[in-house]
Amino acid sequence: MSSQYLTLNVVELTQETSDAVTIHFERPDRQPVTCEPGQFLTLILPCGPGGKKERRAYSLSSTPGEAPRLAVTVKRVPGGLMSNYLLDTVRVGQQMEVMAPIGNFTLKPAANSARSFVLVGAGSGITPLMSMLKAVLQEEPKSYVLLIYGNRNEESVIFREQLRRLEQQYPNRFQVEHVYSQPTGPVAAHQHTGRLNRTMLLRILEQRHQFPAEQADYYLCGPEGLMTEAKAALELLGVPASRIRRESFVAAADTAEATAAQPNGHGDVSTADDEGQSVARTVTINYEGSEYKIEVEPNQTILEAALDQDIDLPYSCQAGLCTACRGKCLSGKVHLDEREGLSDREISQGYVLTCVGHPLTSDVVIEID
């Protein structure tokens, strides 16, 4: 098993709500697993047809400071293959195969910094934000965190008690503003009724935020609609794009076309609607010291072709969002169906995602870390 894959023991289960559970893991040797706040763990479980192994990415709700433990929080999704399998079968003591934590949606605490963080999330989008806010509160003592958290009602709030305790523990540095779309009881202080949209966000930031909006750092995680509303609110407040980070495991957010012409040293990446995908092409993959020649059919992604040939490349979401399958295009040209997981800089440097990548030329060489 390569270094990207780990076997972890389930050491504890925490029931967060009626349909959400936190699964706590440790390595069998209890050595810490390298990770950063906001990254995700990919679980590999035999829950497909005939026991076929499936992969799903779940954000870490734990922080590196909780080592050797790692935790993910899984919410049951109606019809969701992995979430239902997990919540119905996971037991303390079982072993689980996972991919080591990865992801670029991260926050790195700096002990001497004095920053203002605004975290905006809804539903299970709280999980990476929970990892981030705990890390900041514990490791960055001069910084302040405002969490704006949308849910259906009080009973559906994941980490409700834990958030309440953190507010009591850090009364001058942490506050939570809850937004309930369908509250079941009277709404108390720091609770709002309605949809978490741009109007609600602007109102909360005006009332509760103690710092100039354009000087704060913003981390957004949740459904695509929320991401759009939050982005619009922050644009109205004049927040620079460089201060806004976002994570969405809901497919297809950024439909902007971008074709990057690369300098020498790597291949070309295209996300525009491109011709040239109508013939099979051979792609060379360099991975863990081996070279693989893969025949990619016109209707296949590079990852699909590799898996069909039993080449175990790293992957997780298969939607171009999580970056588990990221590689660098050293030559040739690759078309990406989706580029949400890659920054403009990564695109310009020739990085591609094999799960949404198609070769456009016959000389494509991709190196995977």
Write out pLDDT tens, residues 48-103: 888 888 888 899 999 999 999 999 999 988 888 889 999 999 999 999 999 999 88
Across the range 337-349, mean pLDDT stands at 83
Beta bridge partners of 191: 178
Please determine, looking at this structure, whether the domain spanning 5-102 carries the CATH number 2.40.30.10: yes
In whole angstroms, what is the distance from residue 327 CA to residue 332 CA?
A: 13
pLDDT band at 151 (very low <50, low <70, confident <90, very high): very high
Gyration radius of the chain's alpha carbons: 21
Distances (CA, A) of 101 to 6, 35, 54, 60, 254: 10, 6, 17, 8, 24
Angle between helices 126-139 and 160-169 (to 10 degrees): 20
- Reply yes or no: is the peptide bond before residue 171 cis, omega within 30 of 0: no
More confident residue, 260 or 325: 325
**Helix residue ranges, H only, 237-292:** none
Residues 202-211 pLDDT 10s: 999 988 877 7
pLDDT for position 266: 63
Nearest to 300 by CA among 255, 260, 252, 337: 337
Task: Match 């506050």 to its residue by tokens.
Answer: 175
Identify the weakest region by mean pLDDT among 78-87, 98-107, 119-128, 241-250: 241-250
pLDDT band, very low/low/confident/very high, at 22 (cuts 50, 70, 90):
very high
Place of tokens 């705990």: 134
Assigned CATH for 116-250: 3.40.50.80
Cα(166)–Cα(129) distance, rounded to whole angstroms? 14
CA 355 to chain centre: 16
Say which CATH class 281-367 falls into: alpha beta
Cβ proximity of 7 and 102 under 8 Å: no
State the pLDDT at residue 249.
Answer: 52
Query: What is the rounded CA–CA span in Å between residue 312 and residue 97?
Result: 14
Q: What is the pLDDT of residue 345?
A: 83
Query: What is the model's pLDDT at position 276?
Result: 54
Q: Given 3-state DSSP classes, what are the helix, strand and coil percentages for the chain, each rounded to the nearest 5? A: 25, 35, 45
Which residue, 339, 336, 278, 288, is CA-closest to 311? Answer: 288
Global confidence as pTM: 0.78
Domain coordinates of the chain in residue numbers? 5-102, 116-250, 281-367
Reading the block at residue 263, the tokens are: 């300098």
What Cα–Cα distance (Å) separates residue 218 from each residue in 106, 221, 265, 298? 12, 10, 34, 40
